């Protein structure tokens, strides 16, 4: 792993002229602030920001700007602390966080237990934990998986459950949260054949216990689209919601353009989709129509209509981005809520049929999206 010496850094810093410094500081603050949106809205306690040693389209090298002005940058971003985790010749890795939120997050008993299990000092302060994390990053070739515990990655939540089937159930509940909330008709889930840091292999658990998991999550259907030695690709869907979704004439028109029969039933459409996925190395782009992406975005991506690429969200967004961004925000809210429910580590939360399940309580505003933007 190649690191810069202090002399190397000084020489690099000289490459930025005095005239560029003010502009570069402003652009760097803007870049970091944009990366910290989830911290500002309270959905994450921290995030990673990578500064690459290259000239951006703005003409500024953010990497060199940090080397020159890192101290001023730290003072120029409100409510955000910045902790450099790693400096290499081609990049700088920063951990950005809200102090109060990260303190509260790391004090959670489940997070504390996982950190202790990973060898972090019991009772350590946030600053001590960050120093230990930095040491692990600098001294190992592989990136430590524990970073997810600091930045609130949801995949660590399933490690709160001791039983393998509970672990897989929690994983699928999180991945299907938008479907369970009925704001998305379907989702794709890839279960990779490898051990997680906790030692479990979700691929093997699905192979042995999928019947029990299906029974537990009987609100939704699971279709195995493709099985290989490396992964299982699942389509999770609500039959009623997906049937309603694909019955819209605009979606039927787009599916017909890609070779699906207008009169096909849901089962026939899914059989056709499965056959296409299994018989080709290329992923069929019309999958977006099945999993609830706005049809205008799918149609523009496939070249059926001429709309400019507006922005990149969870998918490529074309034309007026408002509806698509609102939809993406609804999806994010569902994930965030399910995360909060599963983070309790209570096995009862895996019982979706229990009365007054916390995920289905109405303390967040989730609205079913309309069919604006469909091709008629």
Within 10 angstroms of residue 113's Cβ, the number of other Cβ atoms is: 14
Of these ranges, 96-110, 142-156, 192-206, 288-302, the one predicted with the greatest mean pLDDT is 288-302
Q: Are residues 165 and 141 in the same domain?
A: no
- 277 within a domain of the structure (yes/no): yes
Q: Is residue 1 part of a domain?
A: no
What values do phi and psi take at 232, rounded to 5? -120, 130
> Does residue 104 sit in the same domain as residue 207?
no
- Which of 130, 151, 172 corresponds to the end of one domain? 151
User: 17 and 102 share a domain?
Assistant: yes
pLDDT above 90 (res 290): yes
103 with 170, same domain?
no
User: Among residues 110, 231, 237, 114, which one has the least CA distance to residue 172?
Assistant: 237
Q: What is the pLDDT of residue 286?
A: 94
Which stretch, 3-17, 149-163, 253-267, 334-348, has highest mean pLDDT? 253-267
Together in a domain, 203 and 266:
yes
The last residue of one of the domains, among 122, 151, 180, is: 151
Q: How many domains, the chain?
A: 2
- For the segment 214-248, what is each residue's pLDDT rounded down to a tens digit? 999 998 999 999 999 999 999 999 999 999 999 99
- Comparing CA positions, the residue from 350, 41, 298, 338 lying closest to residue 175 is 338
pLDDT band at 342 (very low <50, low <70, confident <90, very high): confident
Name the band, by pLDDT with cuts 50, 70 and 90, for residue 362: low
Asked whether the CA dihedral 88, 92, 98, 104 is positive or negative, the reply is negative
Of 151, 179, 199, the residue at which a domain comes to its end is 151
β-strand 81-87 against 91-97: which pairing, if any? antiparallel
Please indicate whether residue 372 or residue 339 has the higher confidence score (pLDDT): 339
Same domain, 172 and 145: no
Range of the domain at 129: 6-151
- The answer, as to whether pTM is greater than 0.75, is no
């Amino acid at each position: 792993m190649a690191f810069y010496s202090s002399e190397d850094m000084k020489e690099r810093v000289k490459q930025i002229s005095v005239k560029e410094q003010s502009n570069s500081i402003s652009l760097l603050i803007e870049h970091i602030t944009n990366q910290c949106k989830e911290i500002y809205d309270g959905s994450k306690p921290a995030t990673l920001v990578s500064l690459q040693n290259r000239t951006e389209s703005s003409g500024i090298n953010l990497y060199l700007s940090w080397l020159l002005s890192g101290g001023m940058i730290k003072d120029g971003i409100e409510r955000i602390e910045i902790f450099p985790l790693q400096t290499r010749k081609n990049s700088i890795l920063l951990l950005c966080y809200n102090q109060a939120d990260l303190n509260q997050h790391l004090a959670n008993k489940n997070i504390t237990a996982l950190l202790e299990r990973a060898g972090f000092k019991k009772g350590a302060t946030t600053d001590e934990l960050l120093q230990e994390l930095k040491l692990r990053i600098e001294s190992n070739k592989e990136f430590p998986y524990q970073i997810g515990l600091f930045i609130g990655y949801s995949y660590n939540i399933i490690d709160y459950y001791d039983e393998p089937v509970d672990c897989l159930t929690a994983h699928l509940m999180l991945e299907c949260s938008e479907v369970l909330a009925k704001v998305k008709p379907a989702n794709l889930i890839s279960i990779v054949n490898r051990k997680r840091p906790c030692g479990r292999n979700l691929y093997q658990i699905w192979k042995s216990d999928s019947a029990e998991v299906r029974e537990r999550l009987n609100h939704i259907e699971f279709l195995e689209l493709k099985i290989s030695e490396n992964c299982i690709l699942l389509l999770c869907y609500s039959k009623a919601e997906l049937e309603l979704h694909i019955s819209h004439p605009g979606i039927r028109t787009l599916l017909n353009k890609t070779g699906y029969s207008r009169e096909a039933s849901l089962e026939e459409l899914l059989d056709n989709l499965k056959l296409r996925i299994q018989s080709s190395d290329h992923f069929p782009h019309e999958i977006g129509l099945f999993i609830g992406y706005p049809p205008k975005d799918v149609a523009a991506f496939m070249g059926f209509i001429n709309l400019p690429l507006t922005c990149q969200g969870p998918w490529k967004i074309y034309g007026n981005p408002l509806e698509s961004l609102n939809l993406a925000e609804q999806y994010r809210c569902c994930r965030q809520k399910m995360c909060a429910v599963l983070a309790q580590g209570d096995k009862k939360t895996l019982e979706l049929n229990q009365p007054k399940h916390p995920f289905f309580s109405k303390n967040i505003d989730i609205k079913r999206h309309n069919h604006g933007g469909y091709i008629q």
